[in-house]
Chains A and B, each alone.
Chain A
Amino acid sequence: MARDRSSEETYSRPIRRILIGVVLLALFAVFLVWRVDNPRMERFRAAVVDRVVPSMDWAMAPVTRTARMIEDFQSYARIYEQNQELRRELQQMKAWREAALQLEQKNAKLLDLNNVQLNPQLTYVTGVVMADSGSPFRQSVLLNVGAVDGIRDGWATMDGLGLVGRISGVGRTTSRVILLTDSNSRIPVTIQPSGQTAMLTGDNTPNPLVDFVETPELVQPGDRIVSSGDAGVFPAGLLVGQVAFGSDGRMRARLSADYGRLDFLRVLRSQPAERISDPGGLVSTRPAAPEEARSTPAPDTAPETGADD
């Protein structure tokens, strides 16, 4: 045995080294492919997630439910304080409700005056949050709707109230939502009463930064932040949150969406806004203009809805 072992070692050790080297090279190749051809690898990643996560679903549901129950039970301990707090909030809400009703009537009248039609293309698909692969470094959730349900990359995602994030990565039956708090998230926003445009920049904290405001003096804490629709990233006018100033004096957003409980999310089916790519007929006469205009992926009803005016 002893002689056997030593001879085996002399042969098997270099072979093992070589094999490990081959595996390392293969891994490095995978990484390089990801670096060079990112979209393809991300599609592959989506496919992997698509296979792995739903198969864990049966186990996830009970564990999650139990944890939530424990959380709820803990909240019973503070029930009296909560009751007081709720009463106070209810009082405030009554005042707000009154204001909202008045505003709603006013809004209806104004809309009537202008004969505005709200965008009928803004419908949504509702998905359930399956998994939360968030970490301090990457903040995203997985939804149980995917390419089968017509989800596409880049669509906006909301909970009942506010914007949550955008779709980034679609599998066959799953899709990933990058939250606004993720450090890769950048969306253009408008700060409401003053109309200042800004950039909402996630930095892995619960309250993302509001950057690039032209005149910060015009912005007050508590101002509403809505998506601006610039650059065609999101439809305009989705509620994001309120302005708040962090302890470091930087402008941040207190998000309206309840990030503590992301259960059901709405994925807004937004169509890409039509681009005006050629000069009009009055400015210069170009014979071959219509061909290019058709080739953009415009929604089927869009050309008739008065884009020519």
Chain B
Amino acid sequence: MIDPVTTRIWIYRAAFLGLCFMVLFLRLLPLGDGADPLPGPDLMLCLTFAWLVRRPEFVPALLIVAVFLLADFLFMRPPALKTIVVLIAAEFLRGQVHRIRDTAFTFEFMLVAATILAVVTGERLLHALTFTGQPPLGGAVLAALFTILAYPAVVLFSNVLFGVKKVTLGEAELLGHRL
């Protein structure tokens, strides 16, 4: 018999993978001329952080690596560069999970916003250190801003549609050592 808790975790991991593929897919659709002046939010980053902060066991590090590496390859970015930054940021947030769990959303939002800014800064820093060409600063800042603004929406979306919520005390006992 498979432990129902384990099954649940794997279902959610699959759901995360599916959602990420959906985001990739939407980005790949041949709509518009690509010359949109406003960069869209990085929904994948929002999704990863939102789920990570709520249920870290749903987004293991390897899954994050796989998804972001694929995105790097598909979107003509230097491979693995963004993945490195995101993985470090994700591990940082994973360490903060227990602190976030007991506080209001504002604290979480501020922490995640700071992390997103750190991701963008870190990415640009790595670009600069390795002398790879990088996108203009204005666009990157705008993209970071939109990503931060999209975060609450993504949280709401995960909450309502997928039921990814913070662990309550009762559940915590049920899940036992998994936390």
Using a CB-CB cutoff of 8 Å, which residues 251-271 of chain A contact chain B?
A: 259-260, 262
Q: Which residue of B lies closest to A4 (CB)?
A: B177
Contact across chains for A56 and B28 when beta carbons are under 8 A apart: yes
Question: Is A56's CB under 8 angstroms from B25's CB?
Answer: yes
Query: How extensive is the interface on chain A, given as a class?
Result: 35 or more
Interchain CB contact under 8 A, B91 and A136: no
* A34 on interface, CB distance cutoff 8 Å: yes
Per-residue interface assignment for chain A, residues 2 to 36, with 1 indicating a CB less than 8 Å from any chain B CB and 0 otherwise: 00110010000000000110011001101100110
Once the chains bind, are A64 and B31 in contact (CB under 8 Å)?
A: yes
Instruction: State which of B29, B34, B80 has its C-beta within 8 Å of the C-beta of A34.
Output: B80
Cβ of A23: which chain B residues have Cβ within 8 Å of it? 61-62, 65, 87
- Count contacts between A and B, CB distance < 8 Å: 129
Question: Which residues of chain B are near A260, meaning CB under 8 Å?
Answer: 32-33
Contact assessment for A24 and B88 in the assembled complex, using a CB-CB cutoff below 8 Å: yes
Partner of A27, one of B25, B34, B87, B176: B87
Report B151 CB to chain A, min CB distance, Å: 20
B152 is an interface residue with CB less than 8 A from chain A: no
Residues of A within 8 A of B143 (CB): 136
B28 with A131: CB separation less than 8 A: yes
Q: Are A41 and B79 in contact (CB under 8 A)?
A: yes
A16 vs B37: C-alpha distance when bound (angstroms): 42
Q: Which of B113-121, B132-140, B161-169 contacts A (4 or more CB under 8 A)?
A: B132-140
Q: Which of B44-52, B66-74, B103-111 contacts A (4 or more CB under 8 A)?
A: B66-74
* B130 in contact (CB, < 8 A): yes
Asked whether A137 lies within 8 Å of B135 as measured between CB atoms, the reply is yes
Across the interface, name the chain B residue whose C-beta is closest to A179. B34
In the complex, chain A residues whose CB is within 8 Å of the CB of B177: 1, 4-5, 8
Residues of B within 8 A of A181 (CB): 34-35
Query: A20-B87, A48-B74, A52-B74 in contact; A31/B80 too (CB < 8 A)?
Result: yes
Which candidate, A73-81, A138-146, A217-225, is the interface stretch facing chain B? A138-146
B147 CB within 8 Å of chain A: no
| Residue of A60, A139, A183, A204 touching B25 (CB-CB under 8 A) | A60
B76 lies within 8 A of A53 (CB): no
CB neighbours (8 Å) of B81 from chain A are 31
In the complex, A101 has a CB within 8 A of chain B: no
Verify A134–B33 contact, CB threshold 8 A: yes
Question: From residue A54, how far is it (CB to closest CB) to chain B in Å?
Answer: 11
Known contacts A20-B61, A204-B35: does B139 contact A136 (CB below 8 Å)?
yes
Q: Does B75 contact A (CB under 8 A)?
A: yes
State whether the Cβ of A105 lies closer than 8 Å to any Cβ in chain B: no
B2 within 8 A of A: no
A109 sits at the interface (CB 8 A): no
| Chain A residues within an 8 Å CB radius of B61 | 19-20, 23
Q: Determine the residue in chain A with the shortest Cβ distance to B61.
A: A20
Whether A138 contacts B79 by the Cβ 8 Å rule is no
- Which chain B residues border A87 with CB–CB below 8 Å? none
- Using known A-B contacts A4-B177, A24-B88, A28-B80, determine if residue A136 contacts B33 with beta carbons closer than 8 Å: no
> Which 8 interchain pairs have the tightest Cβ spacing?
A134-B34, A137-B135, A132-B30, A30-B80, A27-B80, A31-B80, A259-B33, A136-B39
